[in-house]
């Protein structure tokens, strides 16, 4: 049985007996009631509350009579009988829970029928699966819709957080990126934030984002999903392994590894085998598909961070041929921000910059928010926007085998909840790795570029080693 008439009567009776139940009752939907008569009564009671009219047997009867539906619900006799179902409203919440449970079961039954019917029109199994998962997910989210609440209700929590941070500065830090200055500026990657990393091609935005992912997974035990629309899973695995091992990618792919480098590779392999890093290399994947896969991953294994490489390669489900590319990018950007909020996780989204930046000289050659490619909506949706700036090579002597190494200027162009400074990182091309300059010599034996400039920022967050979680 997917309905309970007695529970529906009890809910209505409780409201007629005690108007303190009205706030909860009016949040119910007509679909919570199975009986058509009870749907009509629910709508009539909700109408009375909008008019600030007390709800009782008399006012309800008058409202039903005014809209010509009193006889349809069974007349005054039926309303009177409902009043006799329960002696008091003490168990009202229990009756409401029964209605919600039955409504969910009815929606599941309807979804099952819809899924079965849609199989006949599905173009392939992926469309059928996506439709089925969306229907089920919509049901699971039904009870999560937020209501208007007074701001005052949030103030105690905010004050408690201030007190907590005063006693323990690390209490509310987000996921550590592994870069001390960046962690100081952002206080870690915060839940619900959309973080844009922008750069021109071949500057290292994939490497930078992957370094953050690896640091989060290995040092903070974060569960991370990586959507690579440009590189294959194997290419990402190559980079990840060599980056963690601090081994030259060129040496590894050309069979020129030393015994010591082999040892570091095996150590890195052992760490990555235990890390919760999930990779999808579907080309032109749509935001809907990304969100569906992330929801499933979060439900089955947990999810703390998402990286998408990159926005310009994302597909769209729009069938509007007149929709511009700019509109498509804006829609995709907005959906990724919504995903960050709904899943309550930080989302790192990579983006190309406009080609016009290459024609600028001097200080003007540094990226700006207006350089974000194809859509100003990216700037609007993002909580943090970072640019990787690679100084232009000026002399022939710099064109050598180490030309891939350079001192990168990381420009925080937007930070919704903090400062917007810049800082510098050393990029080690052979390792496809960005590093804090003061750690380069210690960890790789390579000398960092001189004259590293940083800005004043809060004290850098300590990076702590921790155990590793599972990988799939």
Catalytic residues: 230
- 280 close to 314: Cβ distance less than 8 angstroms: no
What is the number of other CB atoms lying within 10 angstroms of the CB of residue 206? 22
Tell me the residue ranges of DSSP E strands in 113-268: 194-199, 224-228
Residue that has been written with the tokens 């950007």 in this structure: 333
Q: Identify the CA nearest to 443 among candidates 463, 468, 457.
A: 463
What does the alpha-carbon distance between residue 380 and residue 408 come to, in Å, rounded to a whole number?
A: 25
Whether the ω angle into residue 310 lies within 30 degrees of 0, i.e. cis, is yes
State both tokens at 327.
């509109």
All residues at 6 or more sequence positions from 42 whose CB lies less than 8 Å from its CB, including other chains: 12, 25, 28, 30, 32, 33
For tokens 């998402």, the residue is 306
CB neighbour list of residue 59: distance below 8 Å, 6 or more residues apart:
48, 53
H or E element, residue 415: strand 406-415
Q: Residue 212 and residue 425: Cα distance in Å, rounded?
A: 13
- The two tokens of residue 461 are 């967050």
Q: What is the DSSP letter of 305?
A: E
SS3 27: coil
Question: Other CB atoms closer than 10 Å to residue 113's CB: what's the count?
Answer: 10
């Amino acid at each position: 049985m997917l309905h309970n008439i007695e529970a529906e009567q009890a809910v209505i009776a409780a409201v007629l007996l005690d108007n303190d139940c009205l706030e909860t009752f009016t949040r119910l939907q007509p679909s919570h009631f199975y009986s058509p008569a009870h749907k009509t009564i629910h709508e009539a009671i909700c109408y009375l509350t909008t008019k600030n009219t007390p709800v009782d047997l008399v006012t309800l009867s008058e409202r039903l009579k005014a809209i010509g539906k009193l006889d349809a619900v069974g007349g005054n006799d039926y309303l009177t009988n409902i009043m006799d179902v329960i002696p008091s409203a003490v168990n009202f919440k229990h009756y409401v829970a029964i209605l919600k449970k039955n409504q969910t079961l009815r929606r599941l039954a309807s979804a099952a029928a819809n899924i079965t019917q849609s199989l006949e029109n599905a173009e392939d199994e992926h469309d059928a699966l996506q439709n089925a998962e969306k229907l089920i997910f919509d049901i699971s989210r039904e009870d999560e819709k937020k209501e208007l609440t007074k701001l005052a209700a949030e103030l105690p929590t905010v004050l408690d957080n201030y007190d907590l941070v005063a006693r323990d500065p690390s209490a509310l830090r987000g996921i550590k990126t592994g870069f001390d200055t960046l962690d100081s500026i952002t206080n870690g990657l915060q839940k619900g934030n959309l973080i844009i990393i922008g750069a021109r091609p071949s500057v290292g935005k994939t490497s930078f984002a992957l370094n953050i992912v690896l640091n989060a997974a290995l040092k903070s035990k974060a569960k991370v999903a990586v959507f690579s629309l440009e590189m294959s899973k194997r290419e990402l695995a190559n980079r990840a392994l060599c980056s963690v091992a601090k081994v030259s990618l060129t040496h590894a792919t050309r069979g020129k590894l030393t015994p010591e480098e082999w040892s570091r590779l095996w150590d890195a392999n052992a760490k990555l085998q235990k890390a919760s890093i999930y990779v999808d290399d579907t080309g032109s994947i749509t935001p809907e598909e990304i969100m569906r896969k992330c929801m499933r991953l979060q439900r089955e294994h947990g999810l703390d961070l998402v990286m998408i490489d990159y926005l310009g390669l994302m597909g769209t489900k729009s069938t509007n041929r007149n929709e511009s590319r700019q509109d498509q990018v804006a829609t995709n950007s907005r959906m990724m921000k919504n995903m960050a909020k709904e899943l309550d996780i930080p989302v790192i989204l990579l983006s190309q910059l406009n080609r016009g930046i290459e024609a600028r000289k001097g200080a003007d050659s540094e990226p700006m928010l207006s350089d974000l490619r194809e859509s100003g909506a990216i700037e609007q949706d993002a909580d943090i926007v970072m640019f990787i700036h690679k100084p232009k090579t000026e002399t022939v002597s710099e064109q050598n085998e180490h030309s891939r190494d350079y001192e990168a200027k990381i420009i925080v162009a937007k930070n919704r909840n903090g400062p917007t400074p810049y800082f510098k990182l050393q990029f080690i091309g052979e390792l496809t790795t960005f590093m804090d300059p003061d750690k380069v010599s210690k960890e790789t034996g390579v000398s960092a570029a001189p004259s590293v400039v940083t800005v004043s920022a809060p004290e850098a967050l300590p990076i702590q080693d921790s155990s590793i979680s599972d990988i799939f």
